Every structure is written in structure tokens, then in C-alpha cells.
Amino acid sequence: MNASSEVPVVLRRGVRPPSGAPAQASMPLEGPLVDGYGRVHTDLRVSVTDRCNLRCVYCLPEEGVPFLPRAEILSFEEIARVAGVARSLGVRSLRLTGGEPLVRRGLVELVRQLSTVGFDDLSLTTNGTVLAPVAAELARAGLHRVNISCDSLRPDRFAQIRRRGQLATVLVAMDAAEAAGLAPLKVNVVLISGVNDDEVLDFAAFARRYGRTVRFIEFMPLDAEGGWRRDQVVPSEDVLARINASWPIEAVKPSEGDPAPADRYRFCDGGGEIGVVASVTRPFCGTCNRLRLTADGAVRNCLFSDDEVSVRTLLRSGGSDEDIALALRRSVWGKLPGHGINDPGFLRPSRSMSMIGG
Ligand code: SAM
């Protein structure tokens, strides 16, 4: 990539959603989890709770958040069972999320159970506020790595965006995670225009200094308050151009079978890596391989789709593993070609990010 900020930055995967008729006419009952457009699903995101100890402005309102009743939340055994069935259908990576996964009591035990299922990659996304004391225990239980969300490197602004918690605690959690071997560490930054987009270069310098992969995420219309506006989205292309003007970067070729949402870039001088998740400006639905399990046991095939298939009912009414497998297959099979954020008739999903699990 040229060092000039005027050089348009080409995102690695400007993949358009597949269009036209589905590749296959009927849902296969064996083989990998495939949708009607041929996308094979190998990545499961499991929300273990809709509760969170923060109230980030792009996610939750400051007050009055209704939470699911305890009885509706899947037990660890129920989650592990669905995970096992997913593994048997070819799912190779599992990420725990929420809400804030670490506010769910005893999460280490769930990690222990999941580690016996045999995923290639078992990870956790967390806000880092209560991670440090349990990082080593999580690693011993079989967790491979963590992504830590941190939207500002300035204590006052951190408090303004996250409304609760402290930057210092999260920075300590990053050190603790690395010391425990939960690496490579990724740092998630949701950029909002006029709020924290003046910190792009600070975060790039942070990535270079600590060897942590900072991933700049475009603000998506998934905030519970419905306040998202398109002009608040900071296009990933601009982020890359700004970084490139200070420290030249080049695209990292994705490894075979790695449809991770982030487009990866490395600093040309060997100073580490950054990533961008351009969900709004350059959707990567064409290579999407993710499905989700919500805390109350609904399988979702897309953050932005309201299509849900409940496995909780099956789990609690004597359903077999084959029944669960069929539910997973049905959900994936019903996936639309794209999330549709940029379509004129786009409707926000009824559940927000903290309810679905990011
Ligand atoms: N509580 C954990 C955390 O903060 O990382 C895990 C759950 S959180 C919903 C997962 C990720 O979604 C975080 O990186 C968060 O910043 C991101 N996120 C939440 N709302 C978002 C939105 N409206 N647009 C883009 N990213 C969002």
C-alpha cells in the first residue's frame, strides 16, 4: 500500500452477498452446515447472558434495561450439548460472548466443559472489567484467547462512552490475559464519528507498542436505544487511509478457510497488525460462516435477521441430538444472502446486540 493517504485503500474482501437463486434446492441432512448459497458454517457465537455491567452508548441505555428471567437462560449443560452437536456438524470455532460473559457466575466451569468438545479455537469477547482475577483460571480451563473491548485510551472519554467501569482496569486485564497465555490478544474498538474517531492513530500506536491487534469496528444499527445514524459510522476505508499515512500498512492475505470478519493489515515495518470490521460500508456477508446461539436458546443465522429457531424447547422436552442438529441445519439453511443494512427497506432487528450476543 502506498504511504499517501490519498491512495484509495482497497479492502481485502469487498465481497458482495451472493445473489441469484440458491445454489442448492433442498437442505442437506448430512455433511457440513451449509446454507442455500453454499456458505459453510464453522463458527458459533454463544451468548451466555444478556446482562452486562457496562452501559456503552452504542449498545445499551443508561437505565432501565430489562433482562431475561433466569429460568429462560440456558444452563451450562444445555450450552455444552448444543456446542457438541454443532461440533459434530463441522463447527470448529466457538466464541463466548454476551452481554458480558464474565458476569455469568461460574463461567470457568462452562469453559472447562466446552474445552472437552474439541474446538480448534475457543475464545471469549469481554469488556475486560472483571477479567484480570480469572484470566489464569480461564486459560487453565482450556480457553485459547480473548478479545477485549476498549473504545478509548483516555480515561475521561472511556467513562463517557462506557458509562461504567474504568480504563485502568481494562488495561490491567489486557496484561493479565497475555500473562495467562490468552493470546494473541485482540482489542475491539467501536468508532463513532465525532466521539472517538480522533483516536485512530493513538490506537494504531498502541497496537504497535504492545503487539496487540486493534480491530476498528464500524458502528452498527444494533444499539438498544435505536439512535444509530449512518453519519456516525466511520468508514473503515478512512481509518486505513489515516493509519497508512503515518505508518504504511499492507493487506494480510487471509489464510485458507479463514473467513474472520476483520480485514487484516500489517505494518510494513514489521510493527504488528491492525484490523477493520467494515460491516456497514463493505459487508462481508458473502463469506459469512457464523451462526449464533442466544442466551435464551435461540439459534440465529445473522445479527440482523429476526429469524430464530429455538433449541431451548428441544433441550427441555426430551429432544434428541438429531433434533438439535436439524434445528441448527434449518437455521443455517434459512440464511439470507446479505444482512441488508444498506437496502432502502432495511428494518432493524427487534433484538439489540446485547440480547443477541456480539
Ligand atoms: N460485553 C462484551 C464486550 O464488551 O466485548 C461482549 C459482548 S459485546 C455485545 C461484543 C462486541 O460488540 C463488543 O466489541 C462491542 O464493542 C460490540 N458492539 C456492541 N454494540 C455494537 C454496535 N452497535 N455496533 C458495533 N459493535 C458493537
Report which ligand 1 atom has the smallest distance to the Cα of 47. Answer: 7
In a domain, 80, yes or no: yes
Residues 6+ apart with CB under 8 A from 48: 79, 96, 97, 98, 99, 101, 104, 107, 110, 295
pLDDT at 3: 41
Q: Whose CA is nearest to atom 13 of ligand 1?
A: 149
The residue assigned the cell 503515518 is 246
Q: Is 58 a pocket residue for ligand 1 (Cβ < 6 Å)?
A: yes
Q: Each residue of 173-204: b (16+ CB within 10 Å) or e?
A: bbebbbebebeebbbbbbbbbebbbebbeebb
How many domains in the chain? 1
Decide if 18 is inside a domain.
no
Helix (H, G, I), strand (E, B) or coil at 74: coil
Q: Please report how many Cα atoms fall inside a 13 Å half-sphere around the Cα of residue 211, on the Cβ side.
A: 5
Residue 2: inside a domain: no
DSSP one-letter code for 187: E
**Does 277 reside within a domain?**
yes
49 C-beta closer than 6 A to ligand 1: no
pLDDT band at 352 (very low <50, low <70, confident <90, very high): confident
Per-residue pLDDT at 342 exceeds 90: no
In this model, does residue 67 exceed pLDDT 60? yes
The percentage of residues in the chain with a pLDDT greater than 70, rounded to a whole number, is: 92
**What does pLDDT average to over the chain?**
92
Ligand 1 centroid–CA 158 distance in Å is: 14
Would 196 be classed as within a structural domain? yes
Q: Is residue 1 part of a domain?
A: no
Write out the three cell numbers for 158: 472511556
pLDDT tens track for 241-293? 999 999 999 999 887 666 678 899 999 999 999 999 999 999 989 899 999 99
Ligand 1 atom closest to Cα of residue 357: 9
- Answer whether residue 149 is part of any domain: yes
Looking at the domain assignment, is residue 154 inside a domain?
A: yes
Residue 52 CB–ligand 1 contact under 6 Å: yes
Which CATH number is 319's domain given?
A: 3.20.20.70
CA 155 to centroid of ligand 1, rounded, Å: 19
Residue span of the structural domain in which 31 resides: 27-356
